[in-house]
Amino acid sequence: MKFQPTPLEGALVIELEPLADGRGFFARSFCQEEFRARGLDPAIAQCNVSFNRRRGTLRGLHYQARPHLEAKVVRCTQGAIWDVIVDLRAGSPTLKRWFALELSAENRRALYVPQGFAHGFQTLVDASEVLYQMSEFHRPESARGVRWDDPALAIPWPVASPILSERDRAFPALAQAELP
């Protein structure tokens, strides 16, 4: 695996290093030792799949509050998404900054999202599936979020008029949110 830094401290893009032959390829997509050696949280408490029928579906921006902060590795296993993270860590040099990139079944990239970040994505094509490896169990009482369209963040989502859940629509602006 190749770990590429992002502009947000602690967040990394993970690229596969495939060993290819006439059959296809084999690649490691996760290794606790490699994560630990880079100071990343190597725990996996839970894995989740999000299947999204329609282009433009937007999920986020989600995070868990203390004491259930979570790191995650996000990978698109079918279709394509525009993946977004926002640094919400108090005292961080990149606090309230965001980063986005395309994750797709074709590019096979993943994004390591540290604890204390909000995460969301928007589907770029129909029938997109996202796999999450989470360092903490989902705790509904700790689930939080910030508005996807907060002017303070000014995230340029690629698909106009997104498909959103009522829950995601109702999240507070960053200035009113309970940060981790």
Q: Domain boundaries in the chain?
A: 43-176
Residue 167 tokens, joined: 């829950």
Closest CA to 61 of 169, 162, 158, 137: 169
Burial class for 13, CB neighbours closer than 10 Å (0-12, 13-18, 19+): middle
Residues identified as active-site: 62, 132
Please state, in angstroms and rounded to a whole number, the distance separating the CA atoms of residues 4 and 50: 25
Categorize the per-residue pLDDT at 177 as very low, low, confident or very high, splitting at 50, 70 and 90: very high
- Give the right CATH number for 43-176 from 3.40.50.150, 2.60.120.10, 3.40.50.10420, 3.30.1330.10: 2.60.120.10
Cross-strand pairs, 128: 52
64-100 pLDDT, tens digit per residue, is 999 999 999 999 999 999 999 999 999 999 999 999 9
Query: In this predicted structure, what is the pLDDT of residue 180?
Result: 85
pLDDT band with cut points at 50, 70 and 90 for residue 62 = very high
CA dihedral 111, 112, 114, 120 (to 10 degrees): 30
Q: 54 is written with which tokens?
A: 């329609």
> What is the spatial distance between Cα 112 and Cα 11, in angstroms, rounded to a whole number?
6
Q: How far apart are CA 166 and CA 144, in angstroms?
A: 14
CA trace torsion 160, 9, 134, 88 (10° rounding): -60
Helix, strand or coil, per DSSP, at residue 22: coil
CA-only gyration radius of the chain, Å: 16
Token pair listed for 112: 């390591």
The Cα 40–Cα 155 span in angstroms is: 26
| Whole-number percent of the chain with pLDDT over 70 | 100
Which neighbouring-strand residues pair with 47? 133
Q: What angle do CA 165, 136, 99 make, to 5 degrees?
A: 60
Q: What is the length of the chain?
A: 180
